[in-house]
A and B are shown apart, each in its own frame.
Chain A
């Protein structure tokens, strides 16, 4: 049989193939020849054949039939055979296959070979792919070699040990003694591999870590020598001596210095030296500086050193190489919390990175920018970030918008700025804003009562513009490809929803037009309704958006004067909407118009200040609530009880045992309220006053613009009662049970005045026994006109979890015929259906 062709010749032949098929043919032919050669146990050319097989394997062809041949080569005495054999083993065998275990004996023998290069092959193979079993079998040999005086062997043994410990962690112990001595070597290879081994051991075992901590001075010395020593050509890289070793030592120092003052102290100087003296013009210098920075940040370094580290990172940001910029931003992000001030100094560079071409850099820069926002830089930073939001890639917009909202919430310098910023985000990135932000925005707007007018006007304007823009785009998109059309169709649902809500709440302010704005809007009721209707009708509006729009319309029925009929019409149309949610709302609103018209004003009145029951635990301090009208109309009476002195009835944590609220009217001393409750057999007063203390979420649920809760079609109607009647003043209670919460009763009181003089400054207060909870919503007014020509309505919500019999004490204060009056009454005649 002719000698098999040489490797190079085969390679040449394969490369002449012009098609995949040709190549395959050549290879199949050769493989067949090789197979028969293997079968014949040819040892002369085994090496050549395996080498060819390895080449073909690299091209993607199967070569498993060569595995055993590799083992035979390893067992051969010829160095050439061993070289190829071990290479083949590393390429063709993996530890999952039992066949590799057959190597164990060969490796063992070769580890003890008298030629260091054979030993080297064995160590290399074991250290690259040895299975746990092999490692267990051969650990002893490797440990012995770790103590060799031959540095060529020693360094390989060290890395082999690293692999063994990774595979069989329990074996670490046996390597400890030999490891200790490794750092005494001069040979850089040994020092480097020793550092790797020690690092690995320390990461695995805290005990070992403390043990090796005493090496710190020695490591510091080695590092110092490296830096101070003169030029050594064999280790030099661009003027720096052995950067690989420097980095490895720095890394080991990091682990040893972490959480240890003494060790950190000992390495302080050398770190400063490396940080200041390393050349930064080439990548190699930056690699060392980077590692130095990581070490400084992780150990207990003094602040000067930390500032130095941050400054290095700041310089990295200006580097042309984007890898270095990226690496710097990542590190800065990790340290921004702990070294906030130092990082702040590089803020403008970081902000510049927002304009980088590379996407991963932009993302890092964005995250870092948000971390740097504080009260003093918020205006400038927000400007940059809003600009970024305008122009950034789509994948960032949601996160950026959310980040802006969070930052604005924490650091807004003024309410007006806050609202302006929110609106800017809504209008520019509205379709990427997360759904959760809508309630948060609404909360913000509600609680900023002084800006209601401003907010609603701006939102209305934005919405009008959005509609006309979408109309224009729709005309354009009709002529476009569907793919492009999708782009245009992205309606800004959050913007629309927030606007709808505001228009509904503050529509009256829209009409009145007066707020200290440059150009207050001149808007008619019809125009407002046009906008809301278009929201309802647009097929790009989501179901939720439509819900918002419908409810907004409904609210306007109490705020607008001349268009109630139009509203009724629109609402009734949706009573047969396919959308079930919408249909239900419409039906209930219709019912509101028809059967419960007297309740409509109370139900649809202004939202109170809401508490934010958010996951991050932020609670808004209750400002004086948005009861603009009643308070303004009341002449200078005593301060409203709606301030924070009201005992927080609804505080789930057990209630405020503080002094009860100051009653309106100067005549009632504080203690009086307590006496109000004498006889009701309760311990501590639970007061409800005509204000809006922080409402609980349970009530808020039923408060949320779904009045359907107030309606109780399932239960039979509960008879109303006369709660109080004296001297011409009469208070009626009518009842509804909540659909969603069977423990909640909604009482609507109606006060009327049959005398011939008006009753003014009317305030209703109530107290219930302790097991109940009470919430009084704002009254429709505090004037009860004479001769039953009108009245006050007010909604009381009662929570009665223990289903006890409802009792109530009332206190009424008012002015009648110029006299301040105060009356007390008790209500005991609640119908059973109202509390059972």
Chain B
């Protein structure tokens, strides 16, 4: 069926080190590792944003040397998926203040939390930048307060 879900989103460094993995399809640990390995080797050397014919994959190259790799179902709108990636980068940028790879490394759980306020099950849940960031801020506050 033409379900337009994002199957997964991966972030990895230029050296191929995984920094984030978000799966919205059920795959075993073994299969996940396999996919990651395949994609890392496939996309590592591509410098520009490209739609690759591996189950339609989109790749973006973040200025902070991180690859954002998304797999979408093929009848999806690839151009919009690009916008989704842009939005996520913007959110990270706003949160960390000029985000760089180190931020993602040392605060990987935050990167996940932000993603979880933006996407759910591979779909966009909130289109307002402000609202996503507000939710994160308040959650962080709650974390501090509750210990």
Show the binding face of A for B, using Cβ within 8 Å.
8, 11, 15, 51, 54-55, 58-60, 77-80, 83-84, 87, 91, 94-96, 115, 117, 120, 123-124, 127-129, 152, 155-156, 159-160, 162-163, 166, 188-189, 192-193, 196, 200, 203-204, 233-235, 237, 242-245, 247, 251, 283-284, 286-287, 290-291, 294, 322-324, 326-327, 360
Contact = CB atoms under 8 A, between A and B. Distances in A.
14 contacts: A51-B109, A58-B21, A58-B108, A60-B18, A120-B135, A123-B120, A156-B125, A192-B124, A196-B123, A234-B129, A242-B127, A244-B80, A286-B79, A360-B53
Contacts of A84: 109
Nearest to A115: B142
B26 A95 contact: yes
B14 interface: no
Q: Which 6 A-B pairs have the closest CB atoms?
A: A287-B79, A234-B130, A79-B146, A189-B126, A159-B120, A234-B128
Nearest to B130: A234
A203 B73 CA distance: 15
B120 A235 contact: no
Given A11-B106, A160-B120, A244 B127 contact: yes
B83 A284 contact: yes
A212 B20 CA distance: 38
A78 B146 contact: yes
A128 B24 contact: yes
A187 B80 CA distance: 21
Contacts of B53: 360
Contacts of B28: 94, 96
Contacts of A11: 105-106
A259 to B, nearest CB: 15
Given A127-B120, A245-B127, A324 B113 contact: no
Nearest to B33: A60
B72 to A, nearest CB: 13
Given A117-B138, A193-B125, A323 B120 contact: no
Given A94-B26, A159-B123, A323 B79 contact: yes
A287 B1 contact: no
B97 interface: no
A257 to B, nearest CB: 15
Interface in B133-147: 135, 138-139, 142-143, 145-147
Contacts of A155: 125-126
Contacts of B86: 237, 283
Interface of A is mostly: helix
B45 to A, nearest CB: 16
Nearest to A86: B116
A60 B12 CA distance: 13
Contact of B78 (A77, A129, A327): A327
A17 to B, nearest CB: 13
Contacts of B117: 120
Contacts of B135: 117, 120, 152
A58 B83 CA distance: 26
A43 to B, nearest CB: 12
B120 A244 contact: no
From B29, B53, B80, residue with most partner A Cβ within 10 Å = B80
B44 interface: no
A200 B18 CA distance: 32
Contacts of A166: 3
B29 A128 contact: no
Contacts of B20: 58
Contacts of A59: 17-18
Given A11-B106, A128-B120, A323-B51, A159 B125 contact: yes
B49 A234 contact: no
Given A96-B26, A244-B83, 5 more contacts: A78-B147, A84-B109, A234-B131, A323-B82, A327-B78
A791 B78 CA distance: 77
A80 B143 CA distance: 5
Nearest to B138: A117
Contact of B139 (A78, A117, A162, A196): A117
Interface string B16-50: 01111101101111000100000000000000011
B120 A124 contact: yes
B113 A83 contact: yes
A294 to B, nearest CB: 8
A83 B127 contact: no
Given A54-B109, A117-B139, A193-B125, A283 B83 contact: yes
A83 B139 contact: yes
Interface string B76-97: 0111101110110000000000
Contacts of A127: 120-121
Contacts of A233: 130
A460 B105 CA distance: 70
